[in-house]
Amino acid sequence: MAEEDITKMYEQLSESVAKEDYNNILNISQKILNKDPNEAEAMQCKIISLINLSKTKELEEFLENKKENNKIAYAYSLYVNGKYKESIEFLEKNKGSNGNIRNQIETLLAQNYNKLGNFKNSYEYYKNLILEKKEELENE
C-alpha cells in the first residue's frame, strides 16, 4: 500500500512539474519526503520549487543537513540570503569538483565576490570560465 501511495504521489508530482505549479510541487514532494526522506527526485523537486517560489530562508534551512549532497543549491541559498562570505567559504572548501559542478561553483564564487565588491576576484573567476569555455570550443 505504501509503495502504491508513493507511486500515485509521483504521478501527481509529474503532472505538477509539467504545469510548472511550484506550490503543488512543493506540497507533493514534501509528502513524499515525509514517507521516505531519502527520495532523491522528491528532494530535487522540493529544492527547485523553493527556489522558484523565492522561499530562500526555507531553502537554506532544508539544505542545512543535506549540504554535502546538494553543494550548489546550499551555496546558492546562502548567496540569495545575502550570506556571501559564508557561501564563499563553503564553495572554496568544495572547489575540487570536476566538470560542470566546478563551473557552477566558480560562477557562484564570482557572483559572491561581486556582491562583496571584490571585483578583482570576481573578474578572475569569470575570466577563467570564459577561457575554459573558449578552449572547449576550439577543441570541438
- Per-residue pLDDT for 1 more than 50? no
pLDDT digits (tens, 9 = 90+) for 3-30: 668 899 999 999 999 999 999 999 999 9
pTM of the model: 0.79
More confident residue, 138 or 3: 138
Confidence of residue 65 (pLDDT cuts 50, 70, 90): confident
From residue 26, how far is each of 73, 94, 100 by CA, in Å?
Answer: 16, 28, 26
Q: CA-to-CA distance for 56 and 30, rounded, in angstroms?
A: 16
Please give the pLDDT value at position 135.
Answer: 78
How many other β-carbons are positioned within 10 Å of the β-carbon of residue 87?
24
pLDDT digits (tens, 9 = 90+) for 96-109: 666 678 889 999 99
**Amino acid letter at 11?**
E
119 touches 103 (CB < 8 A)? no
